[in-house]
Amino acid sequence: AQSVTQLGSHVSVSEGALVLLRCNYSSSVPPYLFWYVQYPNQGLQLLLKYTSAATLVKGINGFEAEFKKSETSFHLTKPSAHMSDAAEYFCAVSERGTYKYIFGTGTRLKVLA
Amino acid sequence: EAGVAQSPRYKIIEKRQSVAFWCNPISGHATLYWYQQILGQGPKLLIQFQNNGVVDDSQLPKDRFSAERLKGVDSTLKIQPAKLEDSAVYLCASSLGLEISYGYTFGSGTRLTVV
């Protein structure tokens, strides 16, 4: 069965520091992988997605993620955090041939001035 | 393009009452989803429509939850009767089609509090 694990329910970084949000997945076949961001009182917004093209995926707002099959990981990074990045981030997996996501439990990012 | 519209934004009801949520997807999006997001958890799929047909409702508590998508456009999700554990944000999302790589567009959600 598919699953996704996000390590760290809360992450704090200083403004200008590297952002690293971890996501590991479990799937019997190479999956599709996604990162979504949720700002307070808003719906989820797609940051980026991996669908079997390049393993390094660039998304919006300067975020990127690298698919590492050997580590079953899809960690989200941003070189320099901005105050506006404070939000909750969800990793999601979908097995090819299915039509739905399995979401992780989310990581709340706090950016310190 | 207009986003996914949901209403109401907030709803407070007493347990055993009924409640309905409405969703209007992006024009031309054939696939519509309802997710339940309990505080501290990731969203969980309740039901998925392709046009006006149900693709997946395996996690919908059918004894109290119902959903419909008449004419393959707008959708309503109903809870009757509500329980305390139904307190959550109910998110509607739409997509061009069943191909998951399209990605979803989510609405802002309806926050339900059952007291």
Lowest mean pLDDT among A93-107, B21-35, B101-115: A93-107
Is B25's Cβ below 8 Å from some Cβ in A?
no
Mean pLDDT, chain A, integer? 91
Nearest to B94 by CA among B3, B19, B21: B3
Q: Do B48 and A100 touch (CB under 8 A)?
A: yes
pLDDT at res. A34: 92
Span B42-67, average pLDDT: 93
pLDDT at res. A96: 72
Among chain A residues, CA nearest to B49:
A99
pLDDT at A14 over 90: yes
Q: Do B106 and A43 touch (CB under 8 A)?
A: yes
pLDDT at B41 over 90: no
Span B29-58, average pLDDT: 92
Q: Do A46 and B103 touch (CB under 8 A)?
A: yes
Q: Please tell me the distance from the alpha carbon of residue A100 to that of residue B44, in angstroms, as a whole number.
A: 10
Share of chain B above pLDDT 70, in %: 99
Q: Which is more confidently placed, B88 or A98?
A: B88
CA distances from A13 to A20, A87, B1, B34 (A): 9, 12, 34, 33
Q: Please tell me the distance from the alpha carbon of residue A95 to that of residue B78, in angstroms, as a whole number.
A: 29
Q: Do A44 and B40 touch (CB under 8 A)?
A: no
Is A108's Cβ below 8 Å from some Cβ in B?
no
Burial label, A60 (beta-carbon count in 10 A; 0-12, 13-18, 19+): exposed
Nearest to B85 by CA among B43, B47, B115: B115
Evaluate the omega torsion of the peptide bond into residue B8 and state whether it is cis, within 30 degrees of 0: yes
pLDDT at res. B1: 61
